[in-house]
Structure 1
Amino acid sequence: MEKFELDILGCGSATPTTLHNPSSQVLNVRDKLFMIDCGEGTQLQFRRNKLRFGRLNHIFISHLHGDHCFGLIGLISTLALLGRTGDLTIYSVAGLETVLRPEIDFFCKDNPFKVKIETFDPKKSEVIYDDRSVSVKTIPLKHRVPCAGFIFHEKQKEPHLIADMIKFYNIPLKELAKIKQGADFVTDEGKVVPYTHLTTPAEPARSYAYCSDTAYSEKVVPVIEGADLLYHEATFADSDAARAKETGHSTARQAAQIAKLANVKKLMLGHFSARYPDNQVLLDEAREIFPETILANEGLREKL
């Protein structure tokens, strides 16, 4: 099975600690790297995770709070020092161009590659990226500033040909593509061989949903329905639920409730407040509602 795996580079909240870096992660889809948020220290953790800078072409920024985007200019500068020439595209809510472009012009004025900034409307759920392997759709979130999450849908692959059957019927090479697309094969004698006899189903397409900073909102449920993995912020424990509501964040229990309502296969908690020296309390609270819950942590690589 081809790669569809998540690397956690940072899963803390606004204040960096010795336990966690600010938000950032990378989704590897068939050896193409997609970065989601880029807090301070992201490029260092990128190296620690032994990821390849040359395979990173797209970055998705959920919102313009510093712990989700302060790492961008450092990463761009490093990519220039490494001799990058291909374009880098950053997807963000409106405003990033105003903030980031002057930094690029000042610190990276001789950049050998273009940094393109594409904006999206955080109030809409719409496809903002699409290629042969994956599509990326926004998830409107409820925060103090315009904010959106992202859901990555892997494209369904074609069924696998059964080599022995292809050989048995002596099927010409030119017919194989049609069979993989669902066409039956007709022999020279006129016998119809159903494509289901010549192929086996491909592995199910996978999906990953990222819900960045957000207060509890059931509006995300239809968008993330059935995701293989949901990363949902869990900044606070239940004892700090009032603070979560005040700041536009969620508790671990609320994240678990969203996972349950959306029928996702697995929940990953992240964006931990610095007030908790041990995130086990968050995990315990979430598992009371949604047992298939794990904690994010720097260096974690989760294979879907």
Structure 2
Amino acid sequence: MDNRTEVREFLVSRRAKISPEQAGLPAGPNRRVPGLRRSEVASLAGVSVEYYSKLERGSLAGVSPSVLNAVARALQLDDAERAHLSDLARAADGSSTLTRPRPRRRTARQWSVRPSLQWALDAVTQGPAFVRNGRMDLLAANRLARAFYAEVYAQPQRPANIARHTFLDEKSHRFYPDWDIAADLCVAILRTEAGRDPHDRDLHDLVGELSTRSDEFRRRWGAHNVRHHGTGAKNFRHHIVGDLTLAYEGLEMVAEPGLTLTIYTAEPGSPSEDALRLLGSWAASQETAAHARDARTE
């Protein structure tokens, strides 16, 4: 992905989202651009119009952290957007002067689950637990997660990919009752990963595939929205057990930079907890049936 284009489109999209009133500036007549003008952002950031215009053309190489912070304040960036801007600057700079460098991410084809990690996942028996990368590949999972994402695993491509399922499989519209929210989140995670690792060829290929095959993805990708995805709650409609509302916690894995361990849980005593219990029973029966089929073919 071209860094200068990414920088330019990100800054322009953030500037367009801030109204003069939100920035404490008079709106004035005859405004030709949505949001703030370049001159207004430059004034708020305490830099010259010429310098800010250079930044917005994509020239972030060598920019100081103090200038990045000033631009972030002027554009009222949230924590995820600030981190994304720093990632873009790091990619442009080609050094570790802005922040501590991130270890290089390995592709899904190079990564295999350690036995101890699989044991840890299998020890989680009350909810789906899985490991994913920033491309939304499902790399490891416990029994409940495999059952929960059964329709994702049913797709022929490997590794199974949540983003591909979301945008290319009609079943995802049933699985996510709030499909637009899920789609927005999915693209924001991919866009965040693109800033962190702009040289990830597998991510380039995935974005290219989804952009070609899905208008919904292409429109969202062009919005340049990013976000951190650490905790919250989601609604699902599983094809076996029906509606669930699950809380989730996403944990960055210290031993595996770039990977996230996510655990879904249901409120104790809730219908969703009953649904997860039913899903566990269904998953166990499916495994038993599979073992029986394997035994007959031996």
Same fold (TM over 0.5): no
- Counting strand residues as a fraction of each chain, which structure ranks higher? 1
- Counting helix residues as a fraction of each chain, which structure ranks higher? 2
